[in-house]
Amino acid sequence: MGEYFNAAGLIQVSYLVTAFLFIMGLKRMSSPVTARSGILWAGAGMLVATLATFLYPGMSNYPLIIIAVAIGGAIAWFSGRRVAMTDMPQMIALYNGMGGGAAAAIAAVELYRGGAMSTTSATLAVVGAIIGAVSFSGSLIAFGKLQGLIRKSLRFGGQQILNLLILAGAIVCAGLIASGYNDSAATITALFVFALVLGLSMTLPIGGADMPVVISLYNALTGLAVAFEGFVLGNAAMIIAGTVVGSAGTLLTQLMARAMNRSLGNVLFSGFGDTGGGAAGTGTVTGSMKPIEASDVGVMMAFAQKVIVVPGYGMAVAQAQHKVWELCQLLIDRGVNVRFAIHPVAGRMPGHMNVLLAEAGVPYDLIADLDEVNSEFETADVALIIGANDVVNPVARNDKSSPIYGMPILNADKAKNVIVIKRGQGAGFSGIENALFYLDNTRMLYGDGQAAVSQLIAAVKAV
Amino acid sequence: MTGIVALYIFMLAAFTGYEVIAKVPVILHTPLMSGSNFVHGIVLVGAMVALGAATTPLEKTIGFIGVLLAAGNAVGGYAVTERMLEMFKSSGARKPGAGAGKH
> What are the start-end ranges of the E strands in A387-423?
417-422
The per-residue pLDDT for A5 is 66
Picking from B43, B49, B61, B75 by the largest number of A CB atoms within 10 A of its own CB, the best residue to mutate is B43
Query: Which pLDDT belongs to residue A192?
Result: 97
A148-B66-A218 Cα angle (round to 5): 45
**Chain A residues whose beta carbon lies within 8 Å of the beta carbon of residue B10:** 227, 231, 239, 243
Query: Could you say which of B43, B67, B87 has the minimum Cβ distance to residue A226?
Result: B43
Report the residue from A29, A226, A363 with minimal CB separation from B31: A29
Distance from CA of A282 to the nearest CA of B (A): 32
The radius of gyration of chain B from alpha carbons, rounded to an integer in Å, stands at 20
ipTM of this model?
A: 0.89
Measured between alpha carbons, how far is A381 from A333 in angstroms, rounded to an integer?
Answer: 17
Contact between B13 and A236 using a beta-carbon 8 Å cutoff: no
Write phi, then psi, for A427 (nearest 5 degrees). -65, 160
- Report the gap between the CA of A243 and the closest CA in chain B (Å): 5
The whole-angstrom distance between A284's CA and the closest CA on chain B is 33
Residue numbers of B between 54 and 83 with CB closer than 8 Å to A:
54-56, 58-60, 62-83
Give pLDDT, residue A428: 55
Give the per-residue pLDDT at A413.
92
DSSP track, A159-212 = HHHHHHHHHHHHHHHHHHHHTTS---HHHHHHHHHHHHHHHHHHHTTS-GGGHH
What pLDDT is recorded for position A154?
Answer: 75
A390 given a catalytic annotation: yes
Interface test with B, best of A30, A82, A261 (most B CBs within 10 A): A30
User: What is the arrangement of strands in the sheet containing A367-369, beginning at the earlier edge strand?
Assistant: A367-369, A337-342, A306-311, A382-386, A417-422, A442-446
Asked if the C-beta of A87 comes within 8 angstroms of chain B's C-beta atoms, the answer is: no
Picking from A110, A319, A350, the nearest residue to B50 by CB comes out as A110
- Alpha-carbon span A107 to A104, nearest angstrom: 5
A255·B29 Cβ contact <8 A: yes
- Active site residue: A183, A369, A390, A413, which one? A390
In order along its 463 residues, chain A shows pLDDT tens digits of: 455 568 888 999 999 999 999 999 999 999 888 999 999 999 999 999 999 999 988 899 999 999 999 999 999 999 999 999 889 999 999 999 999 999 999 999 999 988 777 888 899 999 999 999 999 999 999 999 988 888 777 777 778 889 999 999 999 999 999 988 888 899 999 999 999 999 999 999 888 778 888 999 999 999 999 999 999 998 999 999 999 999 999 998 988 887 777 778 877 776 544 444 444 444 456 778 888 999 999 999 999 999 999 998 888 888 899 999 999 999 999 999 999 999 887 888 888 898 899 989 999 889 998 888 999 999 999 999 998 888 898 888 888 777 777 778 899 999 999 999 988 766 555 567 888 999 999 999 998 888 999 999 999 999 8
B97 contact A CB<8A:
yes
B60: closest CA of chain A, how far (Å): 8
Q: Which residues of B touch A326 (CB under 8 A)?
A: 100-101
For A149-192, write each residue's pLDDT tens digit. Answer: 887 777 777 788 899 999 999 999 999 999 888 888 999 999 99
Distance CA A252, CA A246 (A): 10
Question: Which residues of chain B make contact with A355, given a CB cutoff of 8 A?
Answer: 30-31, 84, 87
Q: What is the pLDDT of residue A277?
A: 41
Strand partners, A417: A382
- For A317, counting Cβ atoms within 10 Å of its Cβ (0-12 exposed, 13-18 middle, 19+ buried), the class is exposed
pLDDT at residue A328 in the model: 95
pLDDT value, residue A208: 75
Which residues are within 8 A (CB) of A295 and not within 5 positions of it... i.e. 6 or more apart?
A455, A459, A462
Residues of A in contact with B52 (CB under 8 A): 56, 58-62, 65
Residue A389 and residue A434 in contact, taking contact as beta carbons nearer than 8 Å: yes
With residue A317 as reference, give the H or E element that holds it.
helix A313-317
Taking the CA of residue A75 and the nearest CA in chain B, the distance in Å comes to 7
pLDDT at res. A228 = 95
Which pLDDT does position B33 carry in this prediction?
Answer: 92
pLDDT tens per residue, chain B (103 residues)? 677 888 899 999 999 999 998 888 888 888 999 999 999 999 999 999 999 999 999 999 999 999 999 999 999 999 999 999 988 887 765 444 444 333 4
Answer whether A354 sits within 8 Å of B53, measured CB to CB. no
Q: Do A38 and B35 touch (CB under 8 A)?
A: yes
A168 at the B interface (CB within 8 A)? no
